[in-house]
Structure 1
Amino acid sequence: MGSSDDDPVVASYDVFLTDSEISRFVFQYLDRDEEFPYNDRNNQRPTQLRMKARTGIVEVDVPINTRGNYDVNKGLRYGEAMKKSRSSRDGGAYGMSGGFTAGGAAANSGGRVKMEGNGDVEILDNKRAVDSASLMRTQSLGGRVKPAEEGDPVYMLATFKNKNLHLSPVSSVVQFHPQLHHLDALDEMPKAKGRKRDDDDRPAESEARAIDIKVKGAEDGETNMVGGNLDLLKKMQEEKWKSYGWIDAETEDAWYTYESFMMHQEPETLPSMETNINSEDYLDKMSAPRIDPARPDLTGWAMKENRRRQRDGASQNENEQ
């Protein structure tokens, strides 16, 4: 065994655990390069975050760069569909589960360029002026908060402040994927054709129809699973979105939140944690079972008990002498 000089201690920190009742989520954008985060610096700060807390659905709206690699014709087509969509206008349903809509103007949120005498227009690289209100300018990314189960890993967020290390438990890791709400809106458009319109700008309402899903030839276990999924989809549809604003990471408000919820302000007032396991038991739980060379049949707990009896016997003999 080498000396301690071969493996010197270069630093030591006091470790503190922050409030575990605060919800902290880690968002992972699977198709986004880590060098280009969604923030103000890249002109892609999310415009809105919305969540269905009971069913765990989360969506984020992020701006689309309309000045490069952007198909204006499709942008107008999808944007117009989103603007006229019954779901977008009245908070209806998108997708299989229903309720996957931002509702109202959120689907078309995004800045406009105000030009004198021309109204709200956008001038693109090809010098074509288009109506900004009809242009698809945001993309929705969606994910789901996975309910914690026994045996799941526990992730912590670490924050250093001087010689203190603050650990904050993560409520959930959410992986985001692009949502295709614009295709759902476009698919909804033909249903309004040929129907009576209230006015020139408002398409007729699509009729709400119940969907009857039948499952045939499923085993009992599969039936229960399908039934559970249908129940979850129903709950997703019924639950209302709750919207939140988005604060850029480099703003003063973000740093204030970071200071308030990621570290203790008065760590000296916190009680010290006490372990309920000794060093030997800890090593046994972290290592492979130990085997007594003198008694190969004894391992783990039995080996420790045998050694304890030997130590107790040796101590008793010394006292008698």
Structure 2
Amino acid sequence: MDSHDDDPVVSSYDVFLTDSQISRYVFQYLDRPQSNPYNDRAGQKPVELRMKPRTGLVEVDVPISTRANYDVSKGLRYGEAMKKSRAARDGGAYGMAGGFTSGSAASGGGRVKMEGNGDVEVLDNKKVVDPASLLRTQPLGGRIKPAEEGDPVYMLATFKEGNLHLSPVSAVVQLHPQLHHLDAVDEIPKGRTSRTKKDDDERPAESEARAIDVKIKAAEDGNAAMIGGNLDLLKKIQEEKWKTYDWVDAETEEAWYTYESYMMHHHPEELPQLESAINSEAYLDGMSAPRIDPARPELTGWAMKQNRQKQREGEDG
């Protein structure tokens, strides 16, 4: 009986590598089950994608369902805070995405396009409120980790007509819920209590953007360098402007067109063939322990190969 019968070859494919002219990101939603994705079919298609390419910040706004398990009073409170906060009006974010300062730019909790009810919405058949005042989106945020030597290389695989097409992934980004609405609530009271003595106007004064002077005493030079690098990164994050993108649902015709255009080659016969830079023997040497010639133990590795090559040349001669 042939030993290979226990491990038969079921199928084989030609493998093709696509080009890297576009960026491909894999988003991981750590608190979201795979059975409940963020898409149009589930009623939670993301509203907007924001990125800071130089510093690697990513934010995705996803809609919040206001018709089930939703606290209207808190939704109004947080929504009003986001509308009045300086950061929301500037179109930026709090937290790390804004450099950990309230004067940076941030994601607004935003108004989502509504169908049907016009300017008012009935929640739980008890309250009629202005939907523009409700917190209707939840930002999810993460950061693109700069690639380092030794990091794994991820590929996206597509099968077509018996061929396997591999596309390199630019980065894997883990997204976590961001609590910008809490930062906005903390900011609002400061604006309301800031009034001038001579001004009798009842309008709350705008909270002023103030530079934050951070003084850190490090015990070691290494820690000082690390802290300095972190402060420099936060400064760059705060200064970089967001780039916004529309979110295209995976089931739309536009998404399928992009998939067909950038995830596979339509003329694989025109592609050049890859050639290995090493032979089979060199590959085995690279992944195995050093080989030793039993007849001459002092000869190992390269010396052993040279000795065997001379023996073969003598036999051929």
Common fold: TM-score over 0.5: yes
Q: Could you tell me the TM-score, scaled by structure 2's length?
A: 0.90
Gaps of 5+ in 1: none
The DSSP-based 3-state class of the residue aligned with 1:76 is helix
| Equivalent residues in 2 for 1:214-293, closer than 5 Å | 214-293=215-294
The DSSP-based 3-state class of the residue aligned with 1:303 is helix
Deviation of 1:273 (Å): 1.1
CA contact (8 A) 1:46 1:62 kept: yes
| Equivalent residues in 2 for 1:10-25, closer than 5 Å | 10-25=10-25
Q: Which amino acid letter does the alignment assign opposite residue 36 of structure 2?
A: F
Deviation of 1:93 (Å): 5.6
Aligned equivalents of 2:189, 2:292: Cα separation in 1: 74
The DSSP-based 3-state class of the residue aligned with 1:123 is strand
2:180 is matched with which residue?
181
The DSSP-based 3-state class of the residue aligned with 1:26 is strand
Aligned equivalents of 2:287, 2:2: Cα separation in 1: 23
Aligned equivalents of 2:218, 2:44: Cα separation in 1: 48
Does residue 1:142 correspond to 2:141, yes or no?
A: yes
1:13-66 Cα deviation digits (max 9, x unpaired): 111111123211110011110111100111000000010001010000001112
Q: Which amino acid letter does the alignment assign opposite residue 37 of structure 2?
A: P
2:71 is matched with which residue?
71
1:194 is matched with which residue?
193
Aligned equivalents of 2:66, 2:18: Cα separation in 1: 42
Deviation of 1:301 (Å): 3.1
- Are residues 124 and 113 of structure 1, via their aligned partners in 2, closer, same or farther at CA, if it must alter by over 3 Å? farther
CA contact (8 A) 1:114 1:121 kept: no
Q: Which amino acid letter does the alignment assign opposite residue 258 of structure 1?
A: Y
Aligned equivalents of 1:195, 1:211: Cα separation in 2: 19
Q: Which amino acid letter does the alignment assign opposite residue 110 of structure 1?
A: V
Q: Could you tell me the TM-score, scaled by structure 1's length?
A: 0.89
The DSSP-based 3-state class of the residue aligned with 1:70 is coil
Deviation of 1:201 (Å): 11
2:121 is matched with which residue?
122
Deviation of 1:292 (Å): 3.6
Aligned equivalents of 1:302, 1:100: Cα separation in 2: 64
Q: State the superposition RMSD in angstroms.
A: 2.3
1:291-314 Cα deviation digits (max 9, x unpaired): 444445544334333332332333
| Equivalent residues in 2 for 1:34-73, closer than 5 Å | 34-73=34-73
Aligned equivalents of 1:289, 1:124: Cα separation in 2: 73
The DSSP-based 3-state class of the residue aligned with 1:112 is coil
Moved more, 92-101 or 14-23: 92-101
The DSSP-based 3-state class of the residue aligned with 2:41 is helix
Aligned equivalents of 1:177, 1:165: Cα separation in 2: 33
CA contact (8 A) 1:113 1:120 kept: no
Deviation of 1:68 (Å): 1.8
The DSSP-based 3-state class of the residue aligned with 1:68 is coil
Percent sequence identity over aligned pairs: 72
- Are residues 92 and 43 of structure 1, via their aligned partners in 2, closer, same or farther at CA, if it must alter by over 3 Å? closer
